[in-house]
Amino acid sequence: MRKIKIVNIVGARPNFVKIAPLMKEIRKIAKFRPFLVHTGQHYGHKMSDVFFGDLAICHPDVCLGVGSGSQSEQIAKMMIGLEKVFKKINPDLALVVGDVNSTLAAALVSAKMNITLAHIEAGLRSFDRTMPEEVNRVITDVLSDYLFTTCPDARYNLEREGIAKSKIFLVGNVMIDTLLFFKRKAEKLNIVKTKFNLVPKEYALLTLHRPSNVDEPVVFENILKALKIISRDIPILFPVHPRAQKNIHARKFKKYFLNVMINSKFVLTDSGGIQEETTVLGIPCLTLRKNTERPITITEGTNIITGIEPNMIIREAEKIISGRAKKGGNIKLWDGHASERIVKILNDKL
């Protein structure tokens, strides 16, 4: 029997986290032959290689090695490389996750080559077209044949945009599959005390990476001013994204920060994935953005949008520190089994 060839395309760190449980489930189906293609949008040991080991993902069948460059340069190089790969493999299905440039490049090539396309995390919308990820999401959804959503509002967005209901499947959140799989291992670690000499739930965790926050001097400095005031009441630990680290050194902002951490009292972030993870973990989250493509983390979770004005950030942080943190609930299907549901649908349909 000829096996059904499924090409899974990844390129950036969030993709690695999301593809791990999917690859595991796809390998369980005898009629499927999975391939893993890494575009190289994120590269190097800390940005890429370490994830394949930590997440127990097989090493990619193909590495395009696209590397850095402008968005247009990256996407163009990816499309050229993916077209060659697709011609060689002749896949029955291309599977993409999330909203990074690799996702868009694979979607465009699949459409041009008449390859069936599945999009994991379809339908998320911030309604802010100045965000590159928003453009990537919208175009990928239009081109997809299978649209797997994490929440009901994503399905609503897709239907409103004219996507046929028969293409849309509510399956849950593959990011949470990985989170819950590694949660027990993470809880056994004691680095909070041994490495940082801190007490669990008595510090805050910070992540920043979006260009709109860290590449804009006025915006970045305003955020840092707020963090400086908050840090008088609670230590802030900061796993530094390379983009943020470059600008911290360039603008001499290093004095505002401590460094790297887990197990926090609350999180300050501009990351979409972390908004989801904190909701599942029950950790208060302050999102340093003007909008979010994951509103369910606000309506049903622990997330609060603060924007980038220092006073709002400080006010919401003080609520948490004083014991008035927002409480969240359990979100339907965010249970660690989204990948199983996706692969079952693919097994039935293909």
Give the contacts of 153 (CB within 8 A, at least 6 positions apart). 123, 295, 296
Per-residue pLDDT at 256 exceeds 60: no
What angle, 0 to 180 degrees and rounded to 10, lies between the N-to-C axes of helices 13-26 and 338-349? 60
* Cα four-point dihedral sign 227, 230, 235, 236: negative
Domain ranges for the chain: 4-172+334-349, 181-321
Give the residue with greater pLDDT, 344 vs 216.
344
Instruction: Write down the pLDDT at residue 211.
Output: 80
From the list 38, 45, 59, 209, the catalytic residue is 209
Per-residue pLDDT at 136 exceeds 50: yes
Q: How far is CA 59 from the centre of its chain?
A: 20
**Beta bridge mates, 182:** none
Report the percentage of the chain scoring pLDDT > 90: 67
Please indicate whether residue 337 is annotated as part of the active site: no
Q: What is the CATH number of domain 4-172+334-349?
A: 3.40.50.2000
As a whole number of angstroms, the distance between CA 93 and CA 156 comes to 25
Instruction: Write down the pLDDT at residue 44.
Output: 52
Do domains 4-172+334-349 and 181-321 share one topology? The answer is yes
As a whole number of angstroms, the distance between CA 270 and CA 299 comes to 18
What is the CATH architecture of 181-321?
Answer: 3-Layer(aba) Sandwich (3.40)
**Beta bridge mates, 303:** 285
Per-residue pLDDT at 71 exceeds 70: yes
Instruction: Write down the pLDDT at residue 194.
Output: 82
pLDDT in tens, 267-294: 999 988 899 999 998 999 999 999 999 9
Instruction: Write down the pLDDT at residue 253.
Output: 47
